[in-house]
Structure 1
């Protein structure tokens, strides 16, 4: 059994079209083609990239949550300048007056 790269078949056909007398060393039933860029490698690469990104974001979120919980448990010892810098937007959709 002979194993050829997947682009060799196109090369042989092009050379035949240009008049070169060329053929494979093995019969059609005795040769296989190997693709260097199969879907398995592409899917694995994308999966690893997504998993790495999700893992990084997850770790960042856990650390940020733990940090905020620790700061809130300290209570009023938080510096005033950090509180004054917070931007708050309030939108009132309906006002109901009662006696």
Structure 2
């Protein structure tokens, strides 16, 4: 099982990400995409990355606004897996 990061480690790790905030045992980022199809395309790319990492975010889609929420549920908190996938999500969103 992945090791849970302590508060200091999680707070430090979230500062290295673009647009992410920490909410207790999760990190979250909301992005506005140019259109609904672009939002769906971003979610599709993230889904492929998440499946490959066997780590699946909570995703909320509202027209062209997408919110990603990450936490390692099996560990009960934030782990390095969350921050690794968040970094990949940043790359996807940066390419949209």
Question: Normalising by the residue count of structure 1, what TM-score does the alignment of the two structures yield?
Answer: 0.22
Structure possessing the higher relative contact order (Cα contacts under 8 Å, 6 or more residues apart): 2
Relative to its length, the structure with more helix (as a share) is 1
Largest Rg, 1 or 2: 1
